[in-house]
Structure 1
């Protein structure tokens, strides 16, 4: 899916942006920007799309994204209900690679920073003690002014550059040139419709009609834009919701299968293992062992 270019707002007196957001949800638009992004989700749950990866997110997740890596955090449907009292909270930093000066990255003492920015092109989920240290720095950065803002940003970059407590997100570096407005409208419509209706059967005729394309044209167009078929995309979304339900451990696996849009258990098991590399039971055990 081709993402929307997003212009990150920045005050003239600042070299980088930091926000402490509270809202009903994180929005729905899949987008990219030349700034690197640090996102610390304090409150919120749903599915995140980063590059070619579709995964769940929950409160406490901290991620570093490289420049022009497309992404969005899509909250669960409960967050979009008119009567919902749920809210999300996050601290977000945006900064250009050369925000500290064009010569900064060439300093011999800063040699780890370009290496960090290169790793961030695939996205990084920060874990362990590093995440705890960074969360404290992020809260401090929200209220910092003048030189203190720069000092804290340097501390954040130092911590990120030196840590081994992370995992990468996307399987490759997915960067994009600016897309057309028609692409943005069409693909975000497909994306939002799928996330809202993944529990039911979605035919190619139905989704093609939504895109104002024939089935053949839609299949060709979607594969060109996303490097995967529409059904692969739909299955990945269903599996991501199944993963969350397995972790919550409130329903039997057979019930989760049908709740997530699969029409039989054997089909669900086959797709689950293909996407995650393990059975639903192994996935649940792996997660519980980490607690």
Structure 2
């Protein structure tokens, strides 16, 4: 679907804009803007969409999004002990950060981080950095700009980080008819446990099969079958982590032919078997995002 253009207005005498977003839930808001965005998500679990990447997020999710990269966080439920869905979002322009780097060569490592952010960057656990991002909300403007620069420098030196989207999806390359893609995606999410055929999807979108595949890939970066597999693996991962159901029961609920089919697709997608994923997940004691997609490291 076509991402919405979000107009981010950074006041003329400010280097960045910080917004402490608190909502009953985060709906799917597929959008883009020319500013960099550093987002710390708190209090919720759900699915993160960045370019062609679809993956789970949970409490403390921290990502840097590059200019004009479509993205969305869709919450499914509250994290344990949380009372609201919260995200601290910091926007800054490329012209500002580049001007800072020109006059302060000591900040050179930030340049590499900005390049990585073209496809989005996800950071691993870094409690001190997350605490400093939270403090941005209450700092005077001058201190806020200095703090943000320091945070970006620290993030550029974090070895526990990975790229999100393999390719940056240009908004102008996406289809314009958003409503037909929303109908297709809603159908897929609702009917994951049943065989997915193209004919009903084409009827919803009023296009031919070849047109649907082309539109779908431009919109999501994936084929219909690859997208459905990701959703099914995400649901299976949730059931593996949260229940003691047998593999055959999980396979049936997630639209796989049988346990062997589930195991094959799970290994191809996550790089491990369902049984190993369940055992490893429970040994770590991590919270499980609803519908979380177990990405390869």
TM-score normalised by length of structure 1:
0.85
Deviations 1:209-250 (A, max 9, x none): 221213343123323544432121111111122223322345
Q: CA deviation at 1:150?
A: 0.9
RMSD: 2.6
Deviations 1:47-98 (A, max 9, x none): 222222221111222122222222212223x68xxxxx97411211121222
Pick the aligned partner of 2:134 from 123, 136, 139.
139
Question: Following superposition of structure 1 onto structure 2, how do residues 84-99 of structure 1 map, counting pairs within 5 Å?
Answer: 87-99=84-96
| 1:43 alignment counterpart | 43
Structure with the bigger RCO (C-alpha within 8 Å, sep 6+) is 2
**CA distance, structure 2, for counterparts of residue 163 and residue 228 of structure 1:** 30
Moved >6 Å (runs of 4+): none
Question: Following superposition of structure 1 onto structure 2, how do residues 215-226 of structure 1 map, counting pairs within 5 Å?
Answer: 215-226=209-220
| 1:152 alignment counterpart | 147
Question: Following superposition of structure 1 onto structure 2, how do residues 234-253 of structure 1 map, counting pairs within 5 Å?
Answer: 234-253=228-247
Matched, 1:72 2:77: no
| 1:104 alignment counterpart | 100
Deviations 1:100-122 (A, max 9, x none): 5x532223222111111012223
**Cα distance, 1:223–1:157 mapped onto 2, change above 3 Å:** closer
Which is further off, 133-142 or 261-270? 261-270
SS state at 1:17 partner: strand
| 1:82 alignment counterpart | none
**CA distance, structure 2, for counterparts of residue 223 and residue 178 of structure 1:** 14
Q: CA deviation at 1:277?
A: 1.8
Deviations 1:12-40 (A, max 9, x none): 44332211111122221322222222221
**Cα distance, 1:10–1:284 mapped onto 2, change above 3 Å:** same
Runs of 5+ consecutive residues of structure 2 not aligned to the other structure: 286-297
Pick the aligned partner of 2:251 from 251, 257, 267.
257
SS state at 1:213 partner: coil
Runs of 5+ consecutive residues of structure 1 not aligned to the other structure: 80-84
**Cα distance, 1:290–1:69 mapped onto 2, change above 3 Å:** farther
TM-score normalised by length of structure 2:
0.83
